[in-house]
Structure 1
Amino acid sequence: MRLAHSETTPWGPVRSTRGGVIKFKTLLEGREGSPANYQLLLADTDPSFQSPRHRHNFDQVRFALDGSTNIGPKRNLEPGDLAYFPEGTFYGPQNQEEVGKPSLTMVIQFGGPSGNGYMSMGQHDTNAQALKAHGDFEGGIYKRHSPAADGRKNQDAYEAIWEHHSGRPIEYQKPRFMDAIHFREPNFEWQALAGNPGVAAKDIGSFTERGVKVYFVQLQPGASYTLPAQPQQQLLFVRSGTGRFGNGSSDGDSWYAHTAVDLGPGESAAMTATTLTEAMVLLFPRF
């Protein structure tokens, strides 16, 4: 089990491959080169942020924490909302000016069901810097000073970075979903878990033949619960509350609001809450 706490993790540099300003705080990362590589981060989105309509060759889940986050024309994630952005599915364009205020969102980007994996943020930044010698990033588009071998001058920024990193053209899976899936999590009802006093859960959704799943767990003060082991990797993100992992002894690991936890396949986590706790759990694709 690996833990990371937002309050002790610094913000990273402002990135400029999309339009406007957005800052990231990376809490957890996976293993580069693995089909299940991932990044769990907090995104501080400035009102200036914009991004053209695009798609990914990986999966993404967003969880709105504070303020509204624009994900398309007249479409915002409100606090408590989740959205699943499947690989190969177009979304956007994004324009935070529609909201007019900054927002804070938890984002998990991870290798999707196709097994294409996920380019790490370090790999992204290294290759973006290399591309700046041959072109400019403007509004989410990479504009080459001279045409590429296939004649293209303008290309989606992430596509250009991925192709420079991989040394081959990007390939997108045929979309399993025709649109990003937007959930109003506060409107789901908590269901008590039998045999676990003071513990409840919300099943949000399961996706694809690879078993991607999102659900929430709630612990009342003093309640204990063991997050069950799964055949695939899982991540837990604490929205609110405090408590301790382990058997309750002094050598356990505490959680707070915006603590993130990585559990490998076959790994469980004993939890005891000290205050009312609500957390999101994401199960990665089974490979």
Structure 2
Amino acid sequence: MFILETETIEWVPVVKNHRTGKITRKFIHEGESSPGVGYTSDLVRYEGGHGVFTAPRHRHNFDQFRFTISGDPDYGQGQVSSEGGVAFFPAGAHYGPERFEEVEILLVQWSENWVTRAKSDAAFTELEKSGTFKDGFYVTVDADGNEVRRDATNTVWETANGKPLVYPVPRYPQPVLMNPEGFAWREEDGVRRKDLGHLTENDFNVQKYQWDADGRVSLPADRTQMVWLMSGEVEVEDRKLGARTIVISDLGESHALVGVNPGEAMVFDFGAPLPGR
């Protein structure tokens, strides 16, 4: 089990920024959600004014979800995920152009071909020797003096892996946005739960929980799960935890969050392990 009380760590400016705008983040955790599937997670804050974040329409070869803690991130073509909303971005699906102003999100990205943060930073540094990161692109000049623009994030991936990036056929044609306010509560094991969706053949799913004192949120051993405590207080493994705490229960572990004070949490389930793993 991994626990991080995010209020105890500082916001860090993103120096190796593939896009535009002023961004700060709190690194949460990097690891495997199941054998062969790597992930990384951050709290990310995008500034307003002259620090507005923008990114061109693009796609990736990894899945990701974003939980909106505050603000109204615009993912392009009318897709806005306001405070409390969840967006799932399928590998291979286009989205954007993006615009974030005064936004904070919880971001998690995962893939069988995940590039660690250290490898990504090293590739970024190497690319700066022969080109420039500008407006969400990696820009170079060819032998004829013509500007060549490539998606910045994907170029970093190719450099880190030393091979061309191949996009999978997207499972869904565009991001899937979930609005918890539109779902009904269901009483279960002394807590109230909203099941926001089960996605892909691996059964990635998102749930929102609400508990009273002594209510129990179970985290079973068959999946890796990430919990974002939104409010209230819980106890787990003899430790009391409050709002803005991350709890990650790894595959093979079994835990329960026991309500101390009434509150709410989002639970992100990374899905079943890949066959044969």
Give the TM-score taking structure 1 as reference length: 0.86
The equivalent residue for 2:153 is 158
The question of 1:103 aligning with 2:99 is answered no
Shift of 1:32: 11
- Supply the AA of the counterpart residue of 1:86: P
The equivalent residue for 1:226 is 218
The question of 1:187 aligning with 2:191 is answered no
Aligned partners of 1:73 and 1:94 also within 8 Å: no
Aligned partners of 1:44 and 1:103 also within 8 Å: yes
In structure 2, distance between residues paired with 1:168 and 1:235: 31
Shift of 1:227: 2.4
The question of 1:62 aligning with 2:66 is answered yes
The equivalent residue for 2:95 is 91
Secondary structure at the aligned position of 2:160 is classed as helix
In structure 1, distance between residues paired with 2:214 and 2:241: 14
Structure 1 vs Structure 2 CA RMSD: 2.1
Aligned length: 267
In structure 1, distance between residues paired with 2:117 and 2:105: 17
Matches within 5 A, 1:217-256: 217-230=209-222, 232-246=223-237, 252-256=238-242
In structure 1, distance between residues paired with 2:162 and 2:172: 28
Moved more, 87-96 or 215-224: 215-224
The equivalent residue for 2:258 is 272
In structure 2, distance between residues paired with 1:200 and 1:62: 23
Shift of 1:145: 3.9
The equivalent residue for 1:137 is 133
- Could you tell me which of 254, 257, 260 is aligned with 2:243? 257
- Supply the AA of the counterpart residue of 1:258: R
In structure 2, distance between residues paired with 1:6 and 1:12: 12
User: Can you give the 5+ residue segments of structure 2 that lack an aligned partner in the other structure?
Assistant: none
Shift of 1:35: 3.1
In structure 1, distance between residues paired with 2:195 and 2:261: 22
The equivalent residue for 1:175 is 170
Give the TM-score taking structure 2 as reference length: 0.89
Shift of 1:152: 8.6
Post-superposition Cα deviations, 1:74-99, rounded to whole Å, max 9, x if no partner, equal 43221111110010110001023xxx
The equivalent residue for 1:80 is 84
Sort the Cα spacing of 1:206 and 1:237 in 2 relative to 1 into closer, same or farther, 3 A: same
In structure 2, distance between residues paired with 1:208 and 1:192: 26
